[in-house]
Amino acid sequence: MESHVTSKVYHVIQEISAPGGIRSITPGFVARMLQLDPQTVFEAMVKLTDLGFLGQQLHIMCPFCANALDDQRLDLGKTITCAVCGKTFVVSTENIYMRFSYVPEKKHLVYPW
């Protein structure tokens, strides 16, 4: 079952990351597309990252407006101001999330699904 889910996750990410498509993807987004449990999708995406098919990045999300502050350092306890809503908040584990990106140069590799 695990490899079947990993295969489905990989193929949907490959499709939506085609040239001109989405550059980074959250497990929740993929889970909603595939109607699967987000934790299961997250685990599949981590496995695909370990195999080199996906990249991963941590981002800070404003707890007030959900803006992704991509240019910020992930310093827990640091106070920052959101450029969109102007509100100030403290960086904590509650407002850090992971995004994944497709690594197109690995598309020629074949994973033994």
**pLDDT band for position 98 (50/70/90)?**
confident
The length of the chain in residues reads 113
Q: For position 111, what pLDDT does the model report?
A: 54
The residue type of 80 is I
Mind listing the pLDDT tens digit for each residue in 35-83? 999 999 999 999 999 988 898 888 899 999 988 886 667 788 999 999 8
Kind and range of the H or E run holding 60: strand 54-61
Q: Give the burial class of 44: count Cβ atoms within 10 A of its Cβ; 0-12 exposed, 13-18 middle, 19 or more buried.
A: buried
- Going along the chain from its start, the domains and CATH numbers come out as 2-106 (1.10.10)
- Reading the block at residue 35, the tokens are 């109607």
* The amino acid at 1: M
For the chain, state the CA radius of gyration: 16
Examine the pLDDT at 106 and tell me if it is beyond 70.
Answer: no
Q: What is the pLDDT of residues 12-42, one digit of tens each?
A: 988 888 777 777 888 999 999 999 999 999 9
Distance between CA atoms of 93 and 5, rounded to whole angstroms? 28
